[in-house]
């Protein structure tokens, strides 16, 4: 995998039980060491390329997820981590759960599991980094074409 930039990640816990969030943290420990791919965890959406979300969407977190997504610069990639983020999971029939992350923002990569294993998190991040690279190249081409047209 050859990337043109180290992907910066924004990790947001929507309404998870924290199981998937612990596995995400585990992927950053020396045992799994996701940082060897250049992945940097940032708390600032304006610095983030990849939006990593756990938990389902409810009425309270829906506007937060939308706002964080809108604050991230283009191009960006969204990764739904855990079956709750994918489609609401075990909580999908609860009165307050609207569904997965795709109820409010477009999702690029789905990483199912309950809880997701660190290996799956790393695989999702690897796919996200590749997709981000493709999106960046497409954006550069579009900008160059627009410049030529004047």
State the residues that interact with ligand SF4 by CB under 6 A. Answer: 16-17, 19-20, 54-55, 82-84, 89-90, 114-115
Q: Which residue has the tokens 């909580």?
A: 91
Q: Which lies closer to ligand SF4 via its Cβ, residue 124 or residue 133?
A: 124
Shortest Cβ 136–ligand SF4 spacing (Å): 30
Residues in the chain: 150
What minimum distance in Å lies between the beta carbon of 91 and ligand SF4? 7
Q: Which residue has the tokens 């910066």?
A: 8
Query: Closest distance between ligand SF4 and the C-beta of residue 138, in Å?
Result: 32
Q: Which is nearer to ligand SF4, 20 or 79 (CB)?
A: 20
Which lies closer to ligand SF4 via its Cβ, residue 84 or residue 132? 84
Tokens representing 8 are 């910066």
Our CB check for ligand SF4 shows the closer of 64 and 139 to be: 64
In 38-143, the DSSP E strands lie at 40-42, 50-54, 57-58, 77-81, 97-99, 109-111
In the complex, minimum distance from the CB of residue 45 to ligand SF4, in angstroms, rounded to a whole number? 21
Task: Tell me how many degrees the CA angle 144-39-65 measures, rounded to the nearest 5.
Answer: 80
Q: How many CB atoms lie within 10 A of CB 77?
A: 27
């Amino acid at each position: 995998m050859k990337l043109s930039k180290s992907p910066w990640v924004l990790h947001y816990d929507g309404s998870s039980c924290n199981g998937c969030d612990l596995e995400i943290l585990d992927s950053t420990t020396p045992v799994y060491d996701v940082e060897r791919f250049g992945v940097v965890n940032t708390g600032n959406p304006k610095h983030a390329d990849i939006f990593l979300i756990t938990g389902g969407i409810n009425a309270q977190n829906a506007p937060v997820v939308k706002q964080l997504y809108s604050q991230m610069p283009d191009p960006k990639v969204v990764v739904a981590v855990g079956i709750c983020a994918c489609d609401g999971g075990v909580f999908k029939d609860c009165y307050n759960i609207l569904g997965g992350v795709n109820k409010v923002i477009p999702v690029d990569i789905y990483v199912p599991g309950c809880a997701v294993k660190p290996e799956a998190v790393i695989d999702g991040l690897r796919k996200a980094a590749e997709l981000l690279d493709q999106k960046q190249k497409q954006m550069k081409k579009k900008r160059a074409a627009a410049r030529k047209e004047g």
